[in-house]
Amino acid sequence: MFFQIQRLLSLKFNFSPVSQLPTEILSEIFSLCRPESPLKRRFDGPVGPSTIPDAGEFPALYVNKAWRTTAITVLRLEPLPIFLELDLPSNGSIVVRNEVKSKIIRRLERYLVESSPGPISFRVFEWVLDADPITVQLYPSLDLISAETVTILKLLCEHCERWEDVTLTLDPLVFHAIRNDIGSLPRLKSLSLRDEGVRRSQAGGLQALPSFEEANQLFLLTLHASLLQQIDFKLPWSQITTLTLSYSRPRYFHFILLHCTSLVECRLRDYDRTSDFWTAPQLLVSHLALRRLWFYACNLSHFLPLIYAPNVQELYVQGVAMNRVEDVRAISIALPHVEKLRVNFIHFHPSSGLPMLEELSSSTMILEMWSPLPGRAFEIMEQKSGIQHLRLKFRETADEASLLGLVKGRMLKGNRSESKFSNSGLLSFHVEASLSLETVDELRSLRESGLAISGLDVCDKQRIERNIQGNIWYRGASAVVSAVLEASLQVLYSAVGKFHGS
């Protein structure tokens, strides 16, 4: 055996260099080394973007110089996803901004041809309008739209069959200008639309929007709710599964519930508080597909009375969306089977927060706030038999004994049979707060005994940071007091000196 191994080692093998690997093997190598996120490209820099990724984006291409040609061929067969960042200029005069846009047009046109037929994703932002509201009021019929911006959009529309993930934040007139330029959208999966700027009325009323009905693969949609004012806004509503709606009103939420019958996740961000003379129908919309519902600063009392969704399992409430007991009770009526409830309070006021806490119920409960949590809150949660997983995030508490009582009374197996709330124990407990070292050590001992307790390292970090801040404040306050006393003594000495001098 030894001589056979020695003979094998003495042989000279003519290994094929990597540049001669078959295309099939190279394709497999590249598929395993492909970047996880799309390659980002900008068009307003010193030089135009390249269609070939650099070494930092795709190191596998630069292993050997000899296989670059083969590698580029493979990339043309299986192009990488790219994301075009088209943030149009917002500073300077209109002339300067249009010059920059003209440069973007030249580079974009060349890049779209060179990267064809690979998929593209992009965002187009134009925050500053070429016309201010006063000019629009004085000259309502004047066409003040930027021709360069429209040209950029029309260039992209020529390649609409390549779109995958698109974000458009534009003036309403730009949307109107490309209303007939978007064709087939076989690859489009994600779409985000927001109209920025002055709403201008023409002879036909509000500006018409382009149609996205041809997007047969579209499932993720983000909308500024004002776009729903358009009567003929065409989208494949019935196939949307994930929707984010900003600055919504109850009437728009009602529209979504009626038309997005496949909706699984809905997020409502912010509430449009302008006057709306819409009367809600008496008949609730029963939505069976919905599983997750988010409310960001949208008052529950305005939206939940419109819906009955028995299959919603996760509810996320943030900001001022829930500030009354009636809001909590509306949850149990509209969403009777919520299993995971996450509530983020801006401020937890005991007078209003504790009554709401008594009404909240879910097997998984996550409570977050930036204010202290009173001991009564822990007592209320100890008495709730339905909570199995509890996560608490707060600043501090003056009653850490009640916190320990909650954990011991609901998690210690030996005490469950003795507790009057023993019918359902906590399976896991997570806490993030500035707790004393003694309390954290006791929680660690409970965790070492086998209880699922987490977040204690965060508690240590917050306690240390709070002590440091307290010391800084103390030193600062001491310095101020010392300076005031010193100045007062100097004034006193000066007055005494003048008195003796006289």
Q: Radius of gyration over alpha carbons of the chain, in Å? A: 32
Q: At CA 10, angle to CA 9 and CA 14, rounded to 5? A: 90
Strand segments, DSSP code E, in 183-257 are 190-195, 220-224, 242-248
* DSSP classification of residue 280: P
Tokens 């401020």 map to which residue?
347
pLDDT in tens, 68-79: 666 677 666 667
* DSSP line for 185-238: -SS--EEEEEE-S----BTTBSPPPPP-TT-TT--EEEEEGGGGG-TT----GG
The CA distance from 454 to 392, in Å, is: 11
pLDDT at position 236, please? 94
114 pLDDT band, cuts 50/70/90, is confident
What is the pLDDT averaged over residues 471-481? 55
11 pLDDT band, cuts 50/70/90, is very low
Q: Which residues pair with 125 in a beta bridge?
A: 87, 169
* DSSP classification of residue 422: T
The CA distance from 4 to 1, in Å, is: 5
pLDDT, mean over the chain: 82
Residue ranges of the alpha helices (H) in 311-436? 325-334, 350-359, 375-382, 400-411, 413-416
- Return the higher-pLDDT residue of 108 and 226: 108
pLDDT in tens, 341-369: 999 987 788 888 999 999 998 999 999 99
What is the pLDDT averaged over residues 188-200? 79
What is the pLDDT averaged over residues 467-485? 61
Q: Where in the chain is the domain with CATH 3.80.10?
A: 339-494
pLDDT at position 366, please? 96
Nearest to 118 by CA among 164, 87, 156, 152: 164
pTM (2 d.p.): 0.79
Please, are residues 321 and 299 in contact by the beta-carbon 8 Å criterion? yes
- 502, with CB counted inside 10 A (0-12, 13-18, 19+), is exposed
Distances (CA, A) of 203 to 57, 209, 211, 472: 50, 15, 20, 64
The CA distance from 10 to 4, in Å, is: 10
Residue 159's contacts (CB-CB under 8 Å, 6 or more residues apart) are 112, 116, 120
The CATH number of domain 339-494 is 1.10.260: no
Q: What percent of the chain has pLDDT over 70?
A: 76
